[in-house]
Chains A and B, each alone.
Chain A
Amino acid sequence: MHPVKKLKMKANNKAIINDRNIEVFIGQTLRIGVILSCAVALIGGIMYLLHHGMQTIPDYTTFHGEDASYTSLPGIIKGLGTGSATEIIQLGVAILIATPILRIVLSLVSFILEKDKLYVVITLIVLGVIMTSMFGGLKV
């Protein structure tokens, strides 16, 4: 059977696709996201320590702001190409931030499958706020 049709059938049969199944799936996604971000940060961290471990720490007592290349996704991706350790760590951070956002997207899918229009709208509002925060140029 076509997978989309199968999903639709499942949606009609509430006993098969219920809140619990989706929640367990969401739980697994969260765990994978956390493990992945931790692993990426660890790899970047080991590289960082191998290259810079014997240097004295940068001056963290004053704030330097956003001059560094790893403060934007394009910057992080560019740094990954050169194998830069700090950018690999920041990729781990980016995965970590993306995990709860992915959870919202998965909840949206589950509300669509349940045909719960009210909560599809509510979830879209929450996603909209997060997207505004990401792309709205709010960093000032």
Chain B
Amino acid sequence: MLILTFTLILLAGAYMAGLVGSLTGLGGGVVVIPLLTLVFHIDMRYAIGAALVSSIATSSGSASAYVKEGITNIRVGMFLEIATTIGAVCGALIAVYTPVNFVAILFGATLIFSAAMTLRKKNEHADMEGSPLAEKLKLNGSYPTKDGVIHYKLKNVGGGFSIMTLAGVLSGLLGIGSGALKVLAMDTAMRIPFRVSTTTSNFMVGVTAAASAVVYLQRGYIDPGIAMPVIIGVLAGALTGTRLLMRINPKKLRLIFSIAITIIALQMIYNGLQHKF
């Protein structure tokens, strides 16, 4: 295949990845890895490098829009980033000793979990009772809505912190943002309203990915010939996705994409078990 043809096909694929990633809220990375490994038979390590780059691109790209709305809780994000960045660096270190096929199986499992998470019932409720630790760390916050400012308080800071460490390890190992796990920690464990947890998770994805991306860049995982169409394609796709979200109800789309992503995930697990990577 010519480099020109490869770049153009990859550009179109990355555009779709960015579009699906932003519509489902899973981020661009989750679609980039199967696209590169299953369709182009590219080595898993180059795919992880490309996924990291697209995770940062989608996070920074949409964060600038989210920040304007004033929903992101910077303190919660910063505090939990201690967990995710340490996790991510550990993940990047473990990656050297982890067989590629195992990484593929783990990726498939994470993907199925993430797809299921996009369909679950969301925590719209703002809790009025918080824990003393949340008070001490100044994690409680508020966000504006049409009906006025809503105040919320947090619980189970330790539990959320532990899940975040795991999210960081997975992110460092697989190159994806593992936003689903981050939202789980904030929604389910810490009882943060989902509008806040989604945008705060998005803020954290970029920082977490950057922590391990530096290590992967030095290891040669990020190849310019792959990274270039991926960055441009994913960003353009994510921008289209954000615009579309304002006009359509993504509920039905989410269901369709979640089923498609689960099928892709099963294919990744199958190939991993067959040692095809």
The interface of chain A, by Cβ under 8 A from chain B, is 19-20, 23-24, 26-28, 30-31, 33-34, 37-38, 41-42, 44-45, 48-49, 52-58, 60-68, 70-72, 85-87, 89-90, 92-94, 96-101, 103-104, 107, 116, 118-119, 122-123, 125-126, 129-130, 132-134, 138-140
Residue of B40, B53, B228 ringed by the most chain A CB atoms within 10 A = B228
By a CB distance below 8 angstroms, the chain B residues around A65 are 219-220
Measured CA separation A103–B137 after assembly (Å): 21
Within 8 A of A (CB), among B193-221: 206-207, 209-215, 217-220
Closest 7 A-B residue pairs measured CB to CB? A27-B67, A66-B220, A100-B206, A89-B224, A53-B4, A31-B64, A139-B218
A135 and B235 CA atoms in complex are apart in Å by: 29
- Decide: A38 and B7 in contact? CB cutoff 8 A: no
Give complex CA distance A66, B138 in Å: 43
Q: CA of A3 to CA of B40 in the docked complex: distance in angstroms?
A: 55
**Contact status A118-B217, CB under 8 Å:** no
Residues in B whose Cβ lies below 8 Å from that of A89: 224-225, 227-228
The residues of A that contact B64 with a CB separation of less than 8 Å are: 27-28, 30-31, 34
The CA-CA distance from A16 to B1 in the complex, in Å, is: 58
The reply to whether A54 and B4 form a contact with Cβ atoms under 8 Å apart is yes
Bin the interface of chain B by size. Answer: 35 or more
Q: Is the CB of A96 within 8 A of B82?
A: no
Interface of B is mostly: helix
4 further contact pairs, Cβ within 8 A, besides A27-B68, A130-B207, A133-B88: A90-B222, A99-B206, A107-B74, A129-B211
Closest partner residue, chain B, to A55 (CB atom): B3
* B174–chain A nearest beta-carbon distance, Å: 16
Q: From A45, which residue of chain B is reached at the shortest CB distance?
A: B228
CB distance from B95 to the nearest CB of A (A): 9
Beta-carbon contact of B224 and A34 below 8 Å: no
Chain B residues 51 to 107 lying within 8 A of chain A, measured CB to CB, are: 53, 56-57, 59-61, 63-68, 70, 72, 74-75, 78-79, 81-82, 85-86, 88-89, 92-93, 96
Q: Are B57 and A34 in contact (CB under 8 A)?
A: yes
CB neighbors of A among B12-56 (8 A): 40-43, 45-46, 53, 56
Given the known interface contacts A71-B218, A103-B207, the answer about A57 and B231 at a Cβ–Cβ threshold of 8 Å is no
Whether B231 and A139, one on each chain, are in contact in the complex, defined by CB atoms closer than 8 angstroms, is no
User: Smallest CB–CB gap between B101 and chain A, Å?
Assistant: 14
B112 at interface (Cβ–Cβ under 8 A)? Answer: no
Q: How far is the CB of B11 from chain A (nearest CB, A)?
A: 9
Q: Select one of B46, B61, B67, B206 contacting A60, CB under 8 A.
A: B46
Q: Which of B234-257 contact A (CB under 8 A)?
A: 235
Whole-angstrom CA separation of A49 from B11 in the bound complex: 13
For B81, give the chain A residue with the smallest CB separation: A126
Contacting residues, chain B, for A72 (C-beta < 8 A): 218
Bound state CA distance, A123 and B56, in angstroms? 19
Q: Is the beta-carbon distance between B46 and A63 smaller than 8 angstroms?
A: yes
Q: Complex formed: what's the CA distance from A72 to B218 in Å?
A: 6
| A49 CB contact (under 8 Å) in B4, B72, B138, B219 | B4
In whole angstroms, how far apart are the Cα atoms of A30 and B72 in the complex?
14
> Of A34, A87, A133, which one neighbours B89 at CB under 8 angstroms?
A133
Which chain A residue has the least Cβ–Cβ distance from B238?
A: A34
- Across the two chains, which residue of chain B brings its CB closest to A68? B220
- A92 near B4 with CB under 8 A, answer no
Contact B92 A122 (CB under 8 A): no
A-side contacts of B88, CB under 8 Å: 133
**Closest chain A residue to B231 by CB distance?**
A41
Residue numbers in B under 8 Å from A31 (CB-CB)? 60-61, 64
- Contact for A42 among B138, B212, B232, CB less than 8 A: B232
In the complex, whether B149 has a CB less than 8 A from a CB of chain A is: no
Interchain CB contact under 8 A, A129 and B89: yes
